[in-house]
């Protein structure tokens, strides 16, 4: 396959990964895949930026305490806040795999970032991750003063599965009278687990880092039954009504199987009267946002997210 759409630095990265000859993620156990993700992402995430304070704590929850990592910038609050849900297909990744990105957003946005270590699949199936993320979002809103957070400037955001969880938080908050959110940041979000038949899935099914086979592996671990894919809290693109949701920043990558569903969700938000800024990063792959140590576009996307968080709730 001639990958002429890829930027040269992306092509070089993929060639280096191919030369290493590591196993495909769908051939690993979840435990093995988690270690591989940690090793792989930490090597290319870039250097961690200094912030004012980093605190690990646990939020009380009936099922189990929810670990969170709170990044507080230098300066005097109240600050805007981003409640961040990491990607990894609901199966892999954790607070450490996304530490560099969260630090960079906190520093560049002058915002408190609360990273949430929600329960992973397959040990905990849908909707466990949704429940944890919603509880964490509600806790941040209830504890805004303690966190030096402006309660009118709380955003949710995440990449991939975390982007899915972010927009689900907005749906759930609207539906259940939950926290008032100022922004949703959706970085190549999963929005439709019910269908993998978009043109981007067909074009980039394999050979571009994230593959269709991997997404099937993730979905199989996340959902207890395939029928769960029809739930708007698993597939927000299937939600019948997107009115009344907070403004959105949607970032997609050109050479990503998830590109089309992310952009379709942005269009549906706009049609529902939601303010949307949507950016497609040309020549990029999933998960370029987490590869800032080797991809300049990853650093640019973090800057874009930080600017949106810094401005949220000010208009």
Residue pair 235/192 in contact by the 8 Å Cβ criterion: yes
Where does residue 200 fall: left (phi above 0), alpha (psi -120 to 50 degrees), or beta otherwise? alpha
Token match 């990044």: residue? Answer: 71
Tell me the C-alpha distance between 195 and 103, whole Å. 34
Catalytic residue among 159, 228, 256, 260: 256
Catalytic residue among 160, 166, 200, 235: 160
Residue pair 96/38 in contact by the 8 Å Cβ criterion: yes
Vertex 177, ends 224 and 315: CA angle to 5°? 115
Active site (annotated) includes residue 160 = yes
Active site (annotated) includes residue 256 = yes
Q: Please, what is the angle between helix 128-142 and helix 161-176, to 10°?
A: 60
Residue pair 24/274 in contact by the 8 Å Cβ criterion: no
Catalytic residue among 117, 221, 286, 290: 286
Tell me the C-alpha distance between 97 and 38, whole Å. 6
Active-site residues, by number, are: 160, 256, 286
């Amino acid at each position: 396959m001639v990958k002429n759409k890829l930027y040269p630095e992306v092509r070089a990265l993929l060639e280096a990964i191919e030369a290493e000859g590591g196993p495909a993620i769908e051939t690993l156990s979840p435990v093995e895949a988690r270690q591989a993700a940690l090793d792989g992402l930490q090597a290319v995430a870039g250097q961690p930026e200094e912030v004012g304070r980093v605190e690990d704590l646990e939020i009380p929850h009936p099922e189990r305490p929810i670990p969170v990592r709170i990044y507080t910038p230098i300066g005097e609050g109240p600050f805007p806040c981003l409640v961040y849900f990491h990607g990894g297909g609901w199966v892999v990744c954790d607070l450490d795999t996304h530490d560099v990105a969260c630090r960079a957003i906190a520093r560049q946005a002058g915002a408190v970032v609360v990273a949430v270590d929600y329960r992973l699949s397959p040990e905990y199936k849908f909707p466990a991750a949704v429940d944890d993320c919603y509880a964490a979002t509600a806790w941040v809103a209830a504890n805004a003063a303690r966190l030096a957070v402006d309660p009118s400037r709380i955003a949710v955001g995440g990449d991939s599965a975390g982007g899915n969880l972010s927009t689900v938080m907005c749906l759930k908050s609207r539906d259940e009278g939950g926290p008032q959110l100022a922004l949703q940041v959706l970085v190549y979000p999963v929005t439709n687990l019910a269908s993998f038949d978009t043109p981007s899935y067909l074009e980039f099914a394999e050979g571009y880092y994230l593959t269709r086979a991997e997404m099937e592996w993730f979905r199989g671990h996340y959902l207890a039954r395939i029928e769960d894919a029809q739930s708007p809290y698993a597939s927000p693109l299937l939600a019948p009504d997107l009115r009344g949701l907070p403004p959105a920043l949607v970032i997609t990558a050109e050479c990503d199987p998830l590109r089309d569903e992310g952009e379709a969700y942005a269009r549906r938000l706009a049609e529902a009267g939601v303010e949307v800024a949507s950016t497609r990063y040309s020549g990029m792959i999933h998960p370029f946002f987490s590869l800032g140590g080797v991809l300049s576009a990853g650093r640019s996307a973090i800057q874009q997210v930080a600017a949106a968080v810094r401005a949220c709730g000010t208009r």
